[in-house]
Structure 1
Amino acid sequence: MKTEALYARIKALILSDKIRFPDIFEIIPAKTISEDCGFDWVIFKHKLDNLHLFTLNEMMTIANILKIPFRYMLQLVRQARGDEDNI
């Protein structure tokens, strides 16, 4: 399956609230997303283990790659971090 088709699948799951942030990387490898976003792989991998290190700009870049509104990405990351106040 092409990467674009996988991104479309993830987008549909996100918009229907049927996927969590870590589940994204079961569909598309984190390294692929890192490369598509132009992120350094080692740093991206570290940030996946420490979600509080992601900047808003990085989350925006991932949202743009997935073609989803930023608020959905922010909500996914906040839920994965265990933040109580979800958007």
Structure 2
Amino acid sequence: MNSVRIRFVGEPGEACHFIKTGPMDQMNPPAIEFGGGDIAEVQLRISEADEHCVDIKFADGTWAYQVPRDFFEELNEQNGR
């Protein structure tokens, strides 16, 4: 998997995304909070459970499973978006 930069959608200070980490069947899994406009360097793969979601691997090795694609946009080198 290649690393990619993603930006969480929404305006800073207005939008908030809680991304649950660890197995989906875990009771009260830990979560990482991202605000609108936050950028993260991650690895993405299509979720086996839902084609409209992705599994995200963060730089520290933590996985988040079944994250909806509409939570973020992929940034590219050409336009910085």
Structure-2-length-normalised TM-score? 0.30
Question: Structure 1 or 2: larger helix share?
Answer: 1
Question: Structure 1 or 2: larger strand share?
Answer: 2
Structure-1-length-normalised TM-score? 0.28
